[in-house]
Amino acid sequence: MKFDSEYSFISKTDEENSLVCITKDVPSNTTRRDDGWKAFRIQGMLDFSLIGILSKISGILAENKIGIFAISTFNTDYVLTKRENYERALDVLNHAGYKIEE
């Protein structure tokens, strides 16, 4: 599979092939999709010895009824929320003491 999107995450299991990418880059032969997500990146390279970073962030957002879709890479984590919840998610995290840079 060749895919040249600026941002893309591809995974394959025994049950599915998943592609997360910018909406305009979704292939035409996709069988199912869920548009309307917006992402933010947890800044910096995360050492594997660090524990609970994504758990704390997801917990704060869950307490505020904001659903997420998380993607982890070797360097860091990405948190996606539905577009209509994105600004509120950033505000909630800012109020919880997280530094938000745009």
Interval 63-100: pLDDT, tens: 999 999 999 888 788 999 999 999 999 999 999 988 88
**Token code pair at residue 34:** 């869920």
Predicted local distance difference test score (pLDDT) of residue 35: 95
Interval 10-63: pLDDT, tens: 999 999 999 999 988 898 899 999 999 999 988 765 556 666 788 899 999 999
Predicted local distance difference test score (pLDDT) of residue 67: 97
Predicted local distance difference test score (pLDDT) of residue 2: 53
Predicted local distance difference test score (pLDDT) of residue 50: 65
Residue 44 near residue 76 (C-beta atoms within 8 A): yes
Q: Which amino acid, one-letter code, is at 99? A: K
What are the chain's domains?
8-23+35-95 (3.30.2130.10)
User: CA-to-CA distance for 66 and 82, rounded, in angstroms?
Assistant: 8
